[in-house]
């Protein structure tokens, strides 16, 4: 090779050839300048650094790149930039409040995916020839699109299923951690967030900007019996448990009662779980080791930051102290007392039961594509690890199945899939009259799975509200394409 080059250089140079070489160099130089300019705008700096809304680089990018779209996993556009006649741009949310907390907004600050994937939508990975053409014609580059893990059919079913109730619905794909739907109410319309801003921030009681799936802390009521039941299993006390429920029982000046104080009669461990017997579970609380219960709770992700890709999660709290009264211990064992949980956390526990005890970290970004639909990158869920053994998950699954076949979750019986879960009717006022309607669980069919947590604030019983809503989610998810 060296010899050949040498030979070529020694050849006498002709005039025409010289001009040709010069033109080539000029074009090559211009090309390199354009390439450098494109690179400068499309990704030399780290995403973490540049993704801050305070970064002036983003302001600069917005002058040259038109913010990309946000789509659901099934291709529905849920956020897009529209160019107005006067040349200004408007961020449009075709579904209004339906995706308020998951997609968020990008005016008056930002929230949700609009915030977390701000930078990704301000870059353009369009084929470079197209980029150069647009650059040369002084046009804005179309930014990359963010594809979410959300399923628009589930999001719609969850949103309308909530009706006028406040609360939260979250669904996860257990073996990946993909968030399939995420609804929080009360909501807001991201299209009019700028106009509505003053009234939204001044109304501290409604806290509409709060994403109740990750930031809402609720008394779990009977869905927390999953924790107590696991502890009973771990201590080897489940198999021999038997209790006579008379509908209510007084301990330490406190009366624990079952739903409508109806006596469940003699219940074993499985029947107590399926029928959600508070008296039996309150007494299990008195039987178990407090320290071990606390250690199990830690393992089940209580009292700590949840392993998710969401930055705005709050910690659930549960615990039994040495000096707790019997009354408080019994309340803790049935998910009352001081216990507070987020719907996301409950969905993660159900997810782990569905996934042989293994938690996959929930995430909402599926992939990034360029404006022509070409794949730029995909996101993968991280594995957090096991929060219960495979054997425990299997036993818990049997209990959660019994809730559907013989217990309080019979509204979820279906020929199309197999459902599992735990209902909850959580008291949140001192007079015990007002209750939140809870359900957490999962369903499967031919290896396809979905885990959920549903809470409808002040709605009453689980069977009348959270269970039917969950049924509509499961029906939607497993319906024939």
Secondary structure letter of residue 297 according to DSSP: H
Any contact of residue 277 with Zn ion (CB under 5 A)? yes
Q: Are 330 and 286 in contact (CB under 8 A)?
A: yes
d(CA 345, CA 308): 10
* Choice between 279 and 328, CB closer to Zn ion: 279
* Choice between 212 and 225, CB closer to Zn ion: 225
d(CA 258, CA 275): 10
Span near Zn ion by CB under 5 A; candidates 117-125, 161-169, 260-268, 324-332: 260-268
Q: How large is the angle between the packed helices 15-41 and 128-136, nearest 10 degrees?
A: 90
Any contact of residue 330 with Zn ion (CB under 5 A)? no
Residues 297-326 that bind Zn ion (CB under 5 A): none
The pairing of strands 435-445 and 77-83 is: unpaired
Span near Zn ion by CB under 5 A; candidates 5-13, 130-138, 273-281, 339-347: 273-281
Minimum distance from residue 447 beta carbon to Zn ion (Å)? 36
Span near Zn ion by CB under 5 A; candidates 234-242, 275-283, 291-299, 343-351: 275-283
Minimum distance from residue 462 beta carbon to Zn ion (Å)? 16
Backbone φ and ψ for 160, nearest 5 degrees, come out as -75, -30
Spatial CA neighbour of 124 closest among 368, 366, 379: 368
3 state DSSP class of 197: helix
* Choice between 277 and 358, CB closer to Zn ion: 277
* Choice between 229 and 347, CB closer to Zn ion: 229
Minimum distance from residue 279 beta carbon to Zn ion (Å)? 4
Backbone φ and ψ for 177, nearest 5 degrees, come out as 90, 0
Minimum distance from residue 245 beta carbon to Zn ion (Å)? 3
Minimum distance from residue 271 beta carbon to Zn ion (Å)? 9
Span near Zn ion by CB under 5 A; candidates 75-83, 91-99, 271-279, 468-476: 271-279
Within 13 Å and on the Cβ side, how many CA atoms surround 217?
13
Spatial CA neighbour of 41 closest among 17, 60, 19, 68: 60
Minimum distance from residue 407 beta carbon to Zn ion (Å)? 12
What's the N-to-C CA distance of the chain in angstroms?
Answer: 61
* Choice between 98 and 279, CB closer to Zn ion: 279
Minimum distance from residue 222 beta carbon to Zn ion (Å)? 11
Any contact of residue 225 with Zn ion (CB under 5 A)? no
Minimum distance from residue 326 beta carbon to Zn ion (Å)? 17
* Choice between 264 and 449, CB closer to Zn ion: 264
Size of the residue set binding Zn ion (CB under 5 A)? 5
Among residues 157, 258, 288, 451, which is the contact residue for Zn ion, using CB under 5 A? 258
d(CA 350, CA 172): 9
Minimum distance from residue 288 beta carbon to Zn ion (Å)? 18
d(CA 237, CA 257): 22
Q: How many CB atoms lie within 10 A of CB 207?
A: 14
Spatial CA neighbour of 180 closest among 169, 164, 166, 189: 169
User: How many residues in total does the chain contain?
Assistant: 481
* Choice between 264 and 471, CB closer to Zn ion: 264
d(CA 172, CA 180): 5
Binding mask 232-251 for Zn ion (x = CB under 5 A): -------------x------
Spatial CA neighbour of 105 closest among 167, 214, 212, 188: 188
* Choice between 111 and 329, CB closer to Zn ion: 329
> How many H-runs (helices) and E-runs (strands) does the chain carry?
18, 19
* Choice between 225 and 465, CB closer to Zn ion: 225
Any contact of residue 264 with Zn ion (CB under 5 A)? yes
* Choice between 224 and 279, CB closer to Zn ion: 279
* Burial degree of 284 (CB within 10 A; 0-12, 13-18, 19+): buried
3 state DSSP class of 244: strand
Minimum distance from residue 255 beta carbon to Zn ion (Å)? 13
Minimum distance from residue 473 beta carbon to Zn ion (Å)? 29
Tokens of 410: 């019979």
Span near Zn ion by CB under 5 A; candidates 111-119, 163-171, 255-263, 335-343: 255-263
* Choice between 120 and 283, CB closer to Zn ion: 283
Among residues 279, 358, 452, 453, which is the contact residue for Zn ion, using CB under 5 A? 279
Any contact of residue 270 with Zn ion (CB under 5 A)? no
Peptide bond into 159 cis (omega under 30): no
Minimum distance from residue 280 beta carbon to Zn ion (Å)? 6
Residues that bind Zn ion (CB under 5 A): 245, 258, 264, 277, 279
């Amino acid at each position: 090779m060296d010899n050949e080059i040498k030979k070529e250089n020694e050849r006498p140079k002709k005039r025409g050839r010289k001009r040709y070489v010069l033109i080539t160099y000029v074009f090559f130089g211009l090309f390199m300048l354009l390439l450098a300019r494109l690179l400068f705008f499309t990704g030399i700096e780290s995403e973490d650094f540049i993704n801050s809304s305070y970064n002036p680089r983003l302001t600069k990018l917005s002058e040259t790149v038109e913010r990309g779209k946000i789509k659901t996993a099934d291709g529905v556009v849920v956020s897009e930039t529209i160019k107005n006649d006067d040349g200004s741009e408007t961020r449009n949310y075709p579904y209004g409040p339906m995706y308020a907390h998951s997609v968020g907004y990008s005016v008056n600050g930002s929230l949700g995916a609009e915030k977390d994937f701000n930078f990704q939508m301000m870059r353009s990975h369009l084929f470079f020839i197209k980029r150069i053409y647009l650059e040369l014609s002084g046009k804005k580059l179309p930014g990359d699109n963010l594809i979410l893990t959300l399923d628009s059919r589930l999001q719609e079913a969850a949103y309308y299923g909530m009706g006028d109730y406040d609360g939260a619905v979250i669904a996860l794909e257990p073996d990946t951690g993909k968030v399939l739907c995420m609804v929080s109410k009360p909501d807001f319309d991201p299209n009019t967030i700028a106009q509505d801003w003053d009234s939204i921030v001044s109304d501290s009681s409604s806290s509409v900007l709060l994403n109740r799936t990750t930031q809402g802390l609720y008394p779990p009521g009977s869905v927390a019996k999953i924790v107590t039941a696991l502890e009973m299993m771990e201590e080897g006390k489940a198999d021999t448990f038997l209790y006579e429920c008379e509908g209510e029982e007084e301990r330490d000046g406190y009366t624990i009662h079952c739903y409508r104080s109806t006596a469940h009669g003699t219940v074993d461990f499985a029947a107590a779980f399926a029928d959600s017997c508070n008296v039996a579970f309150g007494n299990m609380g008195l039987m178990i080791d407090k320290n071990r219960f606390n250690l199990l709770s830690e393992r089940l992700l209580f009292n700590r930051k949840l392993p998710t890709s969401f930055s705005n999660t709050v910690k659930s709290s549960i615990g039994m102290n040495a000096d707790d009264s019997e009354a408080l211990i019994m309340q803790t064992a049935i998910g009352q007392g001081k216990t507070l949980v987020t719907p996301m956390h409950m969905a993660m526990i159900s997810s782990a039961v569905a996934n042989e005890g293994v938690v996959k970290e929930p995430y909402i970004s599926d992939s990034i594509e360029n404006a022509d639909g070409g794949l730029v990158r995909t996101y993968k869920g991280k594995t957090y690890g096991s929060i219960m053994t495979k054997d425990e998950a299997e036993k818990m699954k049997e209990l959660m199945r019994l809730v559907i076949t013989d217990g309080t979750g019979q509204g979820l019986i279906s020929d199309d899939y197999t459902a599992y879960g735990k209902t909850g009717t959580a008291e949140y006022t001192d007079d015990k009259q007002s209750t939140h309607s809870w359900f957490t669980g999962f369903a499967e069919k031919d290896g396809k799975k979905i885990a959920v947590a549903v809470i409808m604030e002040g709605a009453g019983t689980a069977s009348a509200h959270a269970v039917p809503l969950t049924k509509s989610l499961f029906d939607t998810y497993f319906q024939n394409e």
